[in-house]
Structure formats: structure tokens, C-alpha cells
Chain A
Amino acid sequence: MKVISNLKLLLKITQEYGNAHFTLSFSAIFSLLFLLYSFNFSTQSIRPIVLVFFIIYLLTTLYVWFISKSIKKDLANEREIQNRTRILGYPLILTVLAGNVFASSYGISLVSKNKTPEYTFAAYALLTQLFIIGISGFNLFKPYVIDTYLLAIGTFIVLAVIFALMLVLVAKYVTATSAPKWMLPVGIIILIPVLSGNLFSLLLGVGLIKKARQKDASSIEKWQKMWSKILRNSMAVFGMFFIIFMFSLSVVSPWTFDYDFATQNNYSAILQTPTLEYPLGTDDFGRDLFSRIVFGAQISLIVGFFSTIIPAVIGGSLGAISGYYGKKTDNIIMRLLDILYAIPGILLAIAIIAAFGANTVNLIIALSVGSIPTYARTMRATVMQISNYEFVESARALGASDSSIIFRHIVPNSLAPMIVKATLTIGGAVISTSSLSFLGLGVEPHIPEWGNILKIGSTYLETHSYLAIFPGLCIMLLVLSFNFFGDGLRDAFDPKTN
């Protein structure tokens, strides 16, 4: 009896076992989707490429099921995962070629016993790079590619090799508390790929530098603890992966994608169904939907980012002032913000855009104004709590001025809820952006933005539904990723769950 209850506990705390089920269900869902899509109901025919994908995903699912069984057996017999089970992870890594990021990341995490945050960062940096190469690779089927294309792809391949190398090195030499001295220059060099928007390499570099310098043991421990908490949540990691992938893609797209395909009319290829040359088809002006969606990510991320950071700064300062001074200041600021809070965000945005005209800058302002009160409320609540702590009292006793107490002691300690709130509201901002563009009140119609693309798609809903389906899927995936990541951050930062 005791053995069984122990085994249950062991299964529960073994991350590999839980993640196996997670990977299993996602691969199963995707294979089901591929199966459904492989049969064309309207023409009663089979789509062979999709069927191949279905078979690959089905095999992956069965393989992961087999792995989960052998992990269970290992844990029951030997109390830990054996090396021969870990080796089973290597073939899984190859599923990245079929785009199965769930299985391949699971494979990477299975093969190494030593799972530091840096190992995960290196793995996801590699996956991000491979996905970018894959997405950019579709351009090879176009009649021509942009001049910088070959150079860019070459760089990406070099980067991918470097990340793969880093993966091996980190698995071998980096531990939870330290890294060898020679990792310091490596860590600095690995900061350079950040220029391609691959933020995983930034995290990897920072982690390596921290651990190689061995300056501050407590900060290393904090880093290790925080990230292992966030990375334990698989959904949060995939959310983070997709966000960084989208970000990196929109940073590098000017060098791999031709903007002309997204904006120039091509009347010889109007409303084409998806082919290799136009992976997602073309719209009513013959513009390539795939390129339009890739460039649309840029504008969505920019608007989402700015319409989150602006109200976070303004609302955050107002909330900090009002929470710190209390009484009359608090009353005046919060009552004024109540007025803003009473108007629904979208309506306020519509009113502002009605007054100042529809363009990207006005859109950012309009979305920002509406979300100032929520940030102010979040900040105020945290600051009120923190102002009562002893370290604030002691700063005051040492003669620090109010502004230095607020901005040097209180604000840095109340950032966690703000970061969580911001991550969760970027998604909302992305939805609002595309909604307003869809109504014709957002980004200018000539710019490829997801809402604008959908607006055209909605007119061809009956005949060319893919024009409406794909951009919507992208919006949903991006927002979903922000929400999953935000939830993960909240769980990691929230003292209640600790």
C-alpha cells in the first residue's frame, strides 16, 4: 500500500511524467485536427499533404504514450528515470521538422537530467530560430526573394548551430548555482543574437553571466527560483515561446520578406487558394496573405506594447502617488479616475478616434487613456500595502525625501503585480486594436494589420473563407499566448500560491 501511494506522489512530482501527458494530449488534438482537415468535404477528396502530417502526429502521439509508460515503469522499479528512457527523447527532437513544438521541446527536456533555466532558454532559443528559418523558408517558392534573404537565412542557420552547441554545453557544465569561468565571455557573446529579436538568447546570456561571475549568491538563487517557478508551467512556457517567436519574426521580417508582396496589387493572382507560392492564398488585390499576416504581427505587437506601457507608466505613477499620500490626494486622483473608469474602453477609444481621426498614433492614445484607471488601481492597492512596511519607515527616518521613497523603495517592490497586469492586458490591447481596425477606426486601411486583413476577409466569407480564418487564428494565438504567459507569471509571483 505504501509503495503505491509513494509511486503516485512520485509520478505527481516528476515533471517529465506530467509533461508527457501534456505533450500527449496536444499531439493527439493536433492529429485529430489534421485528420479532419485531410478530407475535403466539398469536393469529396483527400488532401495528401495533410494526411502525411496526420500520420506523423499520430506516430508522435503513440511514441510519447510509450515514453510515458516507460517513465512510469522506471519510477515504479528504480524510483528515478533511467538513462535508456531518457535516450528515447532524442528522436522526439526531430518532430520540430513537422512543426510539433510540443513534442520536440518535450524531447529536449527529457534527454537531460540537469534542467537549469539556462538549458530551457537555450532549447527555446534554438526552437525559435528553427521556426523562423522554417517560416522564412516559404519565401523560396516565391518568384523572387529579397536581396538580403540569403544573408539573413545564412545568419539564422549559424545562430541555430550556435544555440544547439550552447544547449550541449549548458547541459554539461552549468548547474543550478554556478557555471565555469569561461562561460562569462560566452554569455556576453550570446547577448548579440538579441538583435534578431530572439529574447531567449538574452535570458540565456544574462543567466550565464550571472552564474559565471559568482558575485552574488542570493541574486543567483532568486533568478533560479523565479525562472524555475515560471518554467514549471508548460502553458506559460509555450505562451512565452510564441510571443518571442512572433516578436523575433517581426524584427527580422524586413530582411526575409518582401513588403511588396504584402502591399502591392497583383491582378494576375487574385483570390488564389493556398498553394506553396502563396501559403495562405491571396486577397482580392492579389496580395499574399502570408506576408501580410507576418507584417501584421509587427503592427499588432507595436500597438499592443505601447498601449500597455503608456497607461502602465501614467496610471502606475498616479496610483503610487495616490496610495502613498492617501487622504485628500488619494480622494481627488481616484475620483477623477472613476470618471474614466465609467466609460467602457472601446467606447472611449471610439470617441477619441471620432474626434481626432483614425490612425495608428491616435489608436495608441485612445487605447491608452481608457486603461489608465485599472493600472492606477492595481498600483495604488500594492503601494498602500507596502507603505506600511518597516523598510519604508526606516527610509523615512533616515531623511529620504518622499519622491525618493516612492520611486526608489516602494515602486521597485510593487512592480510584480503591475507586470502581471500588463502581460494580461497586452492581449486585450491586441484584440481592441484589431476590433477597431475591423470597424475602420484603427490602423489606416492600407497598412497590413490583422484587423484590416480580416475586414477584407469578412466580405469574402462565403467564397474564400480562409481570408478571414487565418488572421483571426493569429490574433487568437497571440492573445492566448499573452494570457497563458500572464497567468504563469501571476502564479509565480503571487505569494498566496507560494
Chain B
Amino acid sequence: MNRSVNIPTTQTSAMLDRTYQRLTNRGKIYGVLLFILGLPIHIITILLYYFRKSQNQYGDVYNKYEQEFVANGQLDIWRQLFLEQEQTKASFFNESLTADQLNKNVDLLVQGKLQKEVEKRVEAAGLEKDTYHHYFKRLLKSRNFLIISAIPGILMYALLLLYSNPFVQFIFERVLQTLFVILGVATLVFTILYISPLDPARNILGIEATPEQIENFNRLYGLDQPYLAQLWHSLSGLFTFDLGTSFAGKEDIIASIANKFPVTLNIAILSLLMAIIIAIPVGIISAIRPNSFMDYTFMIVALIGLSIPSFWQGLIFILTFSLELNWFPATYNPQNWLSLVLPVVVLGTSLCASIARMTRSSMLEVINEDYIITAKAKGLNERKVISKHAIRNAMIPIITVIGLLFGGMLGGASVTEKVFNISGIGSYIVDKQFIPDIPAILGGVVYIAITISIVNLIIDITYAFFDPRIRSKMKKEG
């Protein structure tokens, strides 16, 4: 990136100029941001600008054209027109305006019109309005200026380069948004726990604890500090992976989370795979033969799957498959892969049902599109139409939904983990909430939210590369 700035060609400078123009048009915030990032350059160029200002001709030409209009008597014609317009308007709305008010309105309109017309003329004469903004843009176009200012303005150029390509811009903005969300989540969860009326010190030390003991406890864990200090401490702890020790048990929080997180993730990913393998073919079959017996059966089963409370499903599974039939163990054991089967099925059920329903509706929408009819009309057999044209287009919303549902599944894992006695992150949070063990809950919730945000970020970015519709939309907007 730096090299392309250091060896500017006319192309890069044109590109920079274009991006600069686009960004400043997008809103004030971008203008301010560019100004701050390029502050070292601006200090010098502002001086240069005021030094040269005396030599510009814009003001003279402007005055000349203005005089011309006044001399032509154009003003009176306009005045007449606007007066008529204002009178009609007043009579239509039944407003009674005094002559004074009327004149004032007309004057304003005439002045506005004059300014517009003159500016149009001046522009036609090839002169740009000489503001600092225009001056700086002219400078950006020159190659020598770029070479000189490359080092001091590196931050500003970096931003311009990021925004010069719609893809890079999209990824950059999406990453920024994710960072904002992650910070927001951490702050929100911390704030909720901070304003809690519950007192961890009392819960751990017991009712008989003396005030000194409680004070000591609070000082030890920094609970006596003001809100902002605690927030800063927690945020920096979260992002440096050092949350200290838990209130009860004195274990290292990050170490326990690192132990438990893979267990949850493992089960969640297996459930996701199971759901995708079952649900997508089911959804496609339902959509190809809508309102058939098979479709009804699948969709009713899917709706039942969506309506079953996962903990109850877990209990029933344990009852039938563990206690009665003795096929699978009732509780989770990392050494025995058979013990994974029940939790994976239970966790994946509702996800599977949602994906099947989503696949069906998305496929139905696609199947009625014109291009599918075209494909059929040109003689492709149905299998090819479905596999080549329909599924590929129907998959786009499905993958987004899978990304979103994956998050819900990680959250819902806490219930399943409790039923099957799995020591994952979900049951860890539930166990810690009774105290409440603030750093442990904060860590658990925020790390799950971060995982979800990153998964969704990756899905979004992958789309930008694969979906031509999103690509063309980005180009248009940029």
C-alpha cells in the first residue's frame, strides 16, 4: 500500500482525487475524519492557501456577472413572476398576507434565483469556486504534491486507499461495525451486571460476614471502584485475555473458559452439520413438490421440531434411548463418542427444523422466477434446472439464516448442556450466575457474542465475493 503511494502515477492520483471527492460528498463526518487524519498536510496547505488567495479571480468574475444581470433588468422580470406565484399560493390556501410580508418572500426568492444563475454562469466560464476545499483537491491531482506529502499524510492516504475499492471499503466498514458491536456487547453486559442489586460478597462470605470482610472482598476484586474504572478494567481484561480469578473457587477464568469453550463449540458444529445434512435435502424435496403428502408430512414434522422444548426433548431421549433401550449413555463423557449423539441431535433439532422451513420457502420463491422458466423452456431436464439454477440462488438467504441461527444455538446450548451434564460454556455461565460471579458471566457471554459476530462477519464478507447481486449493488452505492 505504501509503495503505491510513494511512487504515484497519474492513475493513483486520479483515483485518490475521485475517492476524496466521493468521501467528502458522503457526509460531514468523512470530511472531518479526512481532515484530522491529514492534519500535518493541512497545516501547511492552509498557509499556502491564504498566501495565494489574493491572486484569485473568482470573486471578480462573480461580481461581473451579477452586475450584468442587474443591468439587464432580469431582476424585475423575476420579481414579477414570483409575485404572481406567491399571490396565487396565498389565495389558494386562503391566507391573507400583508404587502410587506409578500415583498419579503419575493425578495428572498429573487436573491436565491440570482445567486443560482450567477453561479451557473461562472461555472460555465470554467472557473471553480475558490474555497480551501477546491484548492486542496487541485493539489491532490498534482503528482509532485503527492510525493512530497506521502509521509506526513500517510494516515489520510491510507483511508483514501481503503475507500478507493468498493470491496475493500465494504470489508473495512464491516470489520469496524463488528468491532463496535463487540465493544458495545461488552459494555452492555458489564453495565447490566454492574447495576445489579445483588451482592456477590454477601453471597460468598455468608450472612455472618463482618463489614470489614465485605469491604476487603470488594477491594480485592475492585468492586469498590467507580463505574468507569471497573468498566475499563473489565474491557481491557476481556481483550487481553486476563479476567483474573473467579469470586468463588478462585480459579483462573480464562483458563476455565478456554477449557469449556471447545466442548460447546464441538457439539454446536456437529449439530450444525447434522442439521444442514438433513434439512437442506428435506427443504428442497418439499419445495419441488409443494402441497404433496410428503411436503405436508415434512413441514408438520419440522414445525413439531421447532415447537419441542429442547430440555424436554433431552429428557425424553434419555428416557427412551438411555434408560429403556440402553443405546446411548445418558451423560456426556469426552472419551465416549456415543455420548455425543443425544446432545448433538437435541441441540440440532430446532436448527434443522428452521433450516428446512427456510430452504423450502426460499426454493419456492426461486422456482417461480422467470429464469427458471427460461431454463425449462430451453429444454434442460428438471434435475439440472433444480441443481444448477434453483439451488444455487436459493442458498444465499439460507446461509445468512444459518449464520444467525448458529448464534441462537450457542445461546441455547446452556439448556442442553445442563440436561446432559456437559461441562461446556453454557452450563458454566448458568452455574456462575447464582453468585453472581461478574467476571465469569461477563467473559462467557461476551466471548460467545464475539464468536457469533465473527462468524456472521465471515459469512457477510464471503457473500460480497460470491453473490454478483451484492457486488453490483456495492459498486453502485460506492
Contacts and interface: CB of A to CB of B under 8 A. Distances in A.
Interface of A: 235, 335-336, 338-340, 342-348, 350-357, 427, 431, 434-435, 438-439, 441, 454, 457-458, 461-462, 465, 468-469, 471-472, 475-476, 479-480, 483-484, 487, 496
A356 B197 contact: yes
Smallest CB-CB A-B distances: 6 pairs: A344-B411, A472-B312, A339-B184, A355-B196, A354-B433, A479-B307
Interface string B272-315: 00000000000000000000000000001001101111111001
A485 to B, nearest CB: 11
B180 interface: yes
Contact of A344 (B192, B316, B412): B412
Given A335-B177, A475-B309, A357 B408 contact: no
Nearest to B192: A355
A347 B309 contact: no
B18 interface: no
B445 interface: yes
A347 B185 contact: no
Contacts of B452: 342, 344
Interface of B: 177, 180-182, 184-185, 188-189, 192-193, 195-198, 300, 303-304, 306-312, 315-316, 318-319, 323, 365, 407-408, 410-412, 414-415, 418-419, 426, 429-430, 432-434, 436, 441, 444-445, 448-449, 452-453
Nearest to B364: A496
A427 B185 CA distance: 27
A46 to B, nearest CB: 20
Contacts of A357: 197-198
A476 B309 contact: yes
A347 B198 contact: no
A354 B307 contact: no
Contacts of A344: 407-408, 410-412, 448-449, 452
A439 B300 CA distance: 29
21 contacts: A338-B177, A339-B185, A343-B445, A345-B408, A347-B414, A347-B444, A350-B433, A351-B189, A354-B196, A354-B441, A356-B196, A431-B307, A431-B309, A435-B309, A457-B315, A458-B311, A458-B419, A468-B315, A479-B307, A483-B307, A484-B303
B408 A353 contact: no
A377 to B, nearest CB: 11
A5 B248 CA distance: 75
Contacts of A465: 319
Given A343-B448, A461-B319, 9 more contacts: A342-B181, A347-B429, A350-B433, A354-B198, A357-B197, A435-B311, A454-B312, A480-B303, A483-B306
B459 to A, nearest CB: 14
Contacts of B448: 343-344, 347
Nearest to B310: A435
Nearest to A479: B307
A339 B188 contact: yes
B303 A458 contact: no
Contact of B198 (A235, A342, A356, A431): A356
Nearest to B353: A483
B186 to A, nearest CB: 10
A262 B198 CA distance: 31
A458 B318 CA distance: 10
Contact of B193 (A345, A355, A480): A355
A343 B319 contact: no
Contacts of B323: 461-462
Contacts of B432: 354
A376 to B, nearest CB: 15
Given A352-B192, A487-B303, A335 B180 contact: yes
B342 to A, nearest CB: 14
A117 B325 CA distance: 49
A458 B418 CA distance: 12
A351 B309 contact: no
B181 A476 contact: no
B443 to A, nearest CB: 12
A387 B414 CA distance: 42
Contacts of B184: 336, 338-339, 342
Contact of A354 (B182, B193, B303, B310): B193
Given A338-B177, A351-B445, A352-B192, A345 B309 contact: no
A350 B318 contact: no
A347 B412 CA distance: 8
Contact of A343 (B189, B196, B300): B189
B73 to A, nearest CB: 36
B307 A427 contact: yes
A480 B445 contact: no
Task: Please indicate which of the listed interface residues B309, B319, B415 has the most CB atoms of chain A within 10 Å of its own CB.
Answer: B309
Contact of B445 (A347, A472, A483): A347
B460 to A, nearest CB: 12
Contacts of B177: 335, 338
A87 B418 CA distance: 55
Given A439-B430, A458-B315, A346 B303 contact: no
Nearest to A12: B291
A350 B196 CA distance: 13
Contacts of B198: 354-357
A496 B198 CA distance: 51
B316 A472 contact: yes
Contacts of B300: 235
Contact of A475 (B304, B312, B426): B312
A480 B407 contact: no
Nearest to B368: A496
Nearest to A345: B411
Contacts of A350: 414, 429-430, 433, 441, 445
B307 A476 contact: yes
Contacts of A346: 408, 411-412, 414-415
Nearest to A487: B303
Given A340-B188, A343-B189, A469 B196 contact: no
Nearest to B196: A355
A29 to B, nearest CB: 10
A7 to B, nearest CB: 18
Nearest to A477: B307
Contact of B318 (A339, A427, A461): A461
A340 B180 CA distance: 12
Given A343-B449, A434-B309, A351 B192 contact: yes
B325 to A, nearest CB: 12
Contacts of A479: 306-309
A39 to B, nearest CB: 15
Given A350-B429, A472-B312, A355 B407 contact: no
